[in-house]
Structure 1
Amino acid sequence: MIAIGRKTVFTELSELVDPRHTALVLVDMQRDFIDPDGAFGQLGIDLSMYDVSRPRTAELLTAARESEVLVVHIQNTALPERMSDSPAQLRFNMRMHEGATADGSPLLYTVPGTRGHEFAYEFLPKPGELVVRKYRSSGFWGTNLDLVLRSNGIETVVVAGCTTEGCIESTARDAMFNDYYVVIAEDCVGSDDSAQHDASMLLMRHRFDLATGSEIDNVWKTSEKERVGEHE
């Protein structure tokens, strides 16, 4: 850490992701996005990046639970009949998924009560883990995420999930705007567009701290050993 004026700034990964003040914010690991039989998979959208990021993200979730890190599951949600989508949001969705439908209409996915809205099996929340429903790209916009993080003394959010250039980057930016340290779990994020993923990662590398899931887990394990040693 370094001192800047009257402020102390975390600079080392061990400081940033100390489990005592860190939350794992797991974004949109839902069937419609990452399962082959979900809304995106049925349209033939390329989900191959998740073959790599998905198991690593599951490992990071397990590590967070073992180290008693606060876990928050962000659940993308769209109300039936597009009741949660303004005209501007619909146009945004049309641009985002241009060419995905024959008539150019925006995709409709992650509707409550559908299988696609559910979390994929390895990301099902456990009792006591918070689920935050969001209706826009950012996990902070119009939700209680900031309230929960502040109420639990969180200073750092580790962001993982999908999609990199969309909800990951949006959530990371809003976390920083709300004065949280942000660490992107770089091998635990994915997209259905490798070019956009790469562009987003390049941008985020110059704004946030990036670390692999294993690097983050190693800090958590070391912190756990130190806590155990203090009580022996």
Structure 2
Amino acid sequence: MADDLTSADPFGGSLRPGTSPVVLAVDMMRAYFDPASGLCLPDDHCLHAAARVLGAARQAGVPVVHTRVRYSAGGVDGGVFFRKVPALRALVGDGPMGELMPPVAPTDGELVVVKQYASAFFGTSLASTLHARGVDTVVVVGVSTSGCVRATTVDAIQHGFVPLVVADAVGDRGPEPHESNLRDLAAKYAEVVDEVTAVDYLAGAARGADR
């Protein structure tokens, strides 16, 4: 035990994904893909990768959960966060910027969690819902890597889930925050995997359920 505690590499341990995953699509709203929005990403690569991961989950019978942000009039339920990020004003009410993008739109029966802050777990019933379903692993796709994806991933591990962040299927306002946050998440909070690995894992979870 003492040798483990004094290891030359104190980070970078590995987490083994479980057999009961969920795919969590974080905030894949029009606001992140429409140039008229102050939140718009430089490209939509992550949107299409996320759509493929969601398709693999559905084919495998793995549940999919979506999140979106919505504020009441004046952002009264957004608190200091709403004041800090002026671009969030586009997400007041049910305007077009809050719509989930068609390639990742929910299908019948898929849960949509409405939130006001960065983490999908903060102030929502998400953790209770996933625990009640016996989920042990959360496969994270969505936006943004340094914001809501990161906050959600940290909270996932704090709630006892193994987080898998799909690097190809998350995006940010630029390469630096995207890449630096993926490195830090991989060091401390999650397994960061590529799209192919995530799809293979979801297919394997389905095969395991059939045995």
Poorly superposed stretches of 4+, deviation over 4 Å: 225-228
2:78 partner amino acid: D
Matched position secondary structure for 2:38: helix
Aligned counterparts, 1:112-151, within 5 A: 112-151=93-132
1:165 matched to 2:181: no
Change (3 A) 1:205 1:11: closer
Structure of larger gyration radius: 1
Matched position secondary structure for 1:40: coil
Report the equivalent of 1:220. Answer: 202
**Percentage identity across aligned positions?**
25
**Distance in structure 1 (CA, Å) of the matches to 2:51 and 2:99:** 16
For residues 79-108 of structure 1, give each alpha carbon's deviation from its aligned partner in whole angstroms, at most 9, with x where no partner exists. 22121122x324432xxxxxxxxxxxx221
Change (3 A) 1:219 1:109: same
Contact 2:139 2:164 in 1 (8 A): yes
Unmatched tracts of structure 1, length 5 or more: 1-9, 94-105
Matched position secondary structure for 1:58: helix
1:33 partner amino acid: Y
Change (3 A) 1:177 1:225: closer
Contact 1:34 1:40 in 2 (8 A): no
Change (3 A) 1:205 1:122: same
1:48 matched to 2:51: no
Q: TM-score, normalised by structure 2?
A: 0.85
Match for residue 81 of structure 1 among 65, 69, 74: 74
Aligned residue pairs, count: 196
1:89 partner amino acid: F
Deviates more, 1:201-210 or 1:133-142: 201-210
Matched position secondary structure for 2:107: coil
Change (3 A) 1:173 1:116: same
2:47 partner amino acid: R
Q: TM-score, normalised by structure 1?
A: 0.78
1:113 partner amino acid: D
Contact 1:60 1:213 in 2 (8 A): yes
**Distance in structure 1 (CA, Å) of the matches to 2:124 and 2:191:** 24
How much is the aligned-residue C-alpha RMSD, in angstroms?
1.9
**Distance in structure 2 (CA, Å) of the matches to 1:11 and 1:203:** 15
**Distance in structure 1 (CA, Å) of the matches to 2:135 and 2:209:** 19
Unmatched tracts of structure 2, length 5 or more: 1-13
Matched position secondary structure for 1:109: helix
